[in-house]
């Protein structure tokens, strides 16, 4: 099962991981600095960007989370592969 996905899968996933890491850091920072307007602005910027790149990823590789559209009509793409299989 290892490394069976196309190179674009890993590239796009890594960008999502990087952007979501920025969000993770901003969220924890904002939890203890809830009135920092600059951080809120950064958070909103990356929250929107994350949504966009996830939507693009999901169009090719299926839903990242429940509630996302399953583009393919003939296959339930949630079925795999799972994070420990790629």
Contact residues for other proteins, defined by CB under 8 A: 2, 13-14, 16-17, 20-21, 24-25, 27-29, 31-32, 34, 47, 50-51, 63-67, 78, 82-84
Nearest to 9 by CA among 59, 50, 47: 59
Cβ-based nearer residue to other proteins, 24 or 74: 24
Question: CB of 73: closest distance to other proteins in angstroms?
Answer: 20
List the end-to-end C-alpha distance of the chain, in Å, as a whole number.
7
Smallest separation, CB 59 to other proteins (Å): 15
Per-residue tokens: 52: 């966009």
**Residues β-bridged to residue 68:** 66
CA contacts within 13 A on the Cβ side of 49:
16
Residue with smaller CB distance to other proteins, 27 or 69: 27
């Amino acid at each position: 099962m290892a490394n069976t996905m196309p190179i674009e899968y890993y590239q796009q996933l890594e960008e999502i991981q990087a952007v979501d890491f920025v969000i993770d850091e901003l969220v924890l920072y904002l939890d203890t600095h809830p009135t920092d307007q600059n951080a809120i602005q950064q958070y909103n910027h990356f929250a929107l960007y994350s949504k966009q790149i996830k939507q693009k990823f999901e169009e090719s590789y299926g839903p990242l989370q429940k509630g996302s559209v399953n583009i393919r009509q003939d296959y339930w793409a949630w079925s795999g592969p799972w994070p420990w299989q790629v």
